[in-house]
Amino acid sequence: MQLGPSDKATLRRLAGRYGEIAHMDVQKERMERYYGTNGLENVRPVVLIDEVPWGEIKDDALTNVCAPELGWIEAPLRCALYQWEHFQVDRVIPPVFQVVKQARWLRGFGIEVRDRQIKGDTGAYIASHAYSDQLSTGDDLAKLHPPEVVYDQPSTEAALAVAREVFAGLMGVEVVGWGGLHFSIWDAVARYRGVDNLLLDLAERPDFMHRIARRFMEIGQAQFKQLEEQGFLDARQILVHCTPACSRELPAPDCTGRFRPKDVWGRCAAQIFAAVSPDMHDEFDLAYNQQLFNDCGLLYYGCCEPMDRKIDILRKRFKNLRKISITPWADARRAAEAIGRDYVMAAKPNPAFVATATFNPEPVKQEIARYCEACRACGTTVEFVLKDISTIANNPGNLTRWAETVGATIDKYYA
């Protein structure tokens, strides 16, 4: 991986500004709120914007000009700087640039996803999928095996060398792992089976679906063991799936530097189970995730599925549960009453409000106010993460105005 004079000059210019931002006092202040949030303290809610449709933002500041093989460092720097200038909200840019360990996948699951995709033409990364069923029989199930991953030390060291040259004299550079343990059984199964087949078989072929769940749980366990053995676990992560990860409880007090499951976050979800009852959700998903994530230090459950009527089943299953995703399709008051002071509410505002050609702040104000009022009344720690943004109608100003609107609304409820 070569770094020519022109590319080096470009990257050094970006890194210089990045380093200036990383050493601002506000980074420490925001990091403290990250820690306070995950410590269930009564802090002002953290607000983040993630999963941005960068392809819809047409700006020269986001155009890579260096050699393509340097895109791994140039693109994140450009995106970070653009977001800082236009919709930074409570994003933290740490004072040390992190180079993530590289890996080589030697094999996959044993079957492949087969689908038809319909992509929009706006530049957003979201696509619609129609999946073909690859997992309908016992023979199909027998094909499954754990993927195999190994640490690619040469590639990692090459990336580290480039980063050190780019940031020399500007800020420190370190190699980090992938963070915590992430595995969502039914999100994976949905991609191999399709939604209709999956939901019908939960009712018509429950024994077979239990076999699938058990097999994916075993694959998850095998994968987690590999990640630990290969040194991919890391308690230094700033975010866990778009939300604050910083916790004074991680790593565990007896950690010696080699991170284990109890030193990191676990995260799982079952988005397709938005359509099933609490009992079925517990039977087919939580029972298996309880075994899979029992050893993690802290657990974050949920994604886009509404969990406001299912807090009690989470409470019974997970002793390490700390954060629960509450989506736009959930009732904020009911969720806050069920969560109380025991967990963080990871509130996910509606991304549809930034998908219009002209931004309307009123529904955003009303939505954020509902969350704030409910959580203040119940003593619930809350954070806001705008994500799954499929489109901004090619208008990045929507994100800027959303950030301003949310901040002003929170000011009415929190100091």
Q: What is the mean pLDDT of residues 43-48?
A: 98
Q: How many CB atoms lie within 10 A of CB 328?
A: 16
Only one residue has tokens 């995703």, namely 325
Is the pLDDT reported for residue 1 higher than 80?
no
Distance from C-alpha of 282 to C-alpha of 264, rounded to nearest angstrom: 24
Is the pLDDT reported for residue 124 higher than 90?
no
**pLDDT at position 301, please?**
98
Q: What is the mean pLDDT of residues 357-363?
A: 97
- Residues 136-168 have pLDDT tens digits of 999 999 999 999 999 999 999 999 999 999 999
Distance from C-alpha of 288 to C-alpha of 311, rounded to nearest angstrom: 17
**pLDDT at position 2, please?**
77
Q: How many CB atoms lie within 10 A of CB 350?
A: 15
The per-type count for the chain, helices as H runs and strands as E runs, is 14, 15
Bridging pattern class, strands 298-301 and 321-326:
parallel
Ranges of beta strands (E only) in 154-238 are 172-176, 181-182
The secondary structure of 391-412, three-state, reads CCCCCCHHHHHHHHHHHHHHHC
Is the pLDDT reported for residue 123 higher than 80?
no
**pLDDT at position 122, please?**
72
At residue 121 the predicted structure's pLDDT band, cuts being 50, 70 and 90, is: confident
Is the pLDDT reported for residue 172 higher than 80?
yes
Ranges of beta strands (E only) in 114-180 are 115-119, 127-131, 148-151, 172-176
* CA distances, 349 to each of 82, 124, 125, 365 (Å): 22, 19, 19, 11
List the structure tokens of 172: 């420190």
Average pLDDT for the chain: 96
At residue 127 the predicted structure's pLDDT band, cuts being 50, 70 and 90, is: confident
Q: What is the mean pLDDT of residues 306-312?
A: 97
Residue type, 192: Y
Burial 377-391 (b: 16+ CB within 10 A, else e): ebebbbbbbbbbbbb
Distance from C-alpha of 43 to C-alpha of 34, rounded to nearest angstrom: 9
**pLDDT at position 107, please?**
86
**pLDDT at position 155, please?**
96
Q: Find the range with the poorest average confidence among 14-18, 99-103, 121-125, 241-245.
A: 121-125
**pLDDT at position 354, please?**
98
Distance from C-alpha of 242 to C-alpha of 387, rounded to nearest angstrom: 8
**pLDDT at position 115, please?**
86
SS3 of residue 413 by DSSP: coil
- Residues 81-97 have pLDDT tens digits of 999 999 999 999 999 99
**pLDDT at position 333, please?**
98
Distance from C-alpha of 139 to C-alpha of 170, rounded to nearest angstrom: 56
Q: What values do phi and psi take at 35, rounded to 5?
A: -60, -45
Is the pLDDT reported for residue 131 higher than 80?
yes
Is the pLDDT reported for residue 120 higher than 80?
no
Is the pLDDT reported for residue 126 higher than 90?
no
SS3 of residue 346 by DSSP: strand
- Residues 239-263 have pLDDT tens digits of 999 999 999 999 999 999 899 999 9
Is the pLDDT reported for residue 398 higher than 90?
yes
Is the pLDDT reported for residue 119 higher than 90?
no
At residue 117 the predicted structure's pLDDT band, cuts being 50, 70 and 90, is: confident
**pLDDT at position 326, please?**
98
At residue 125 the predicted structure's pLDDT band, cuts being 50, 70 and 90, is: confident
pTM reported for the whole predicted model:
0.95
**pLDDT at position 108, please?**
87
Q: What structural domains and CATH numbers belong to the chain?
A: 5-411 (3.20.20.210)
**Please, what sign has the CA dihedral across residues 214, 216, 217, 219?**
positive
Is the pLDDT reported for residue 71 higher than 80?
yes
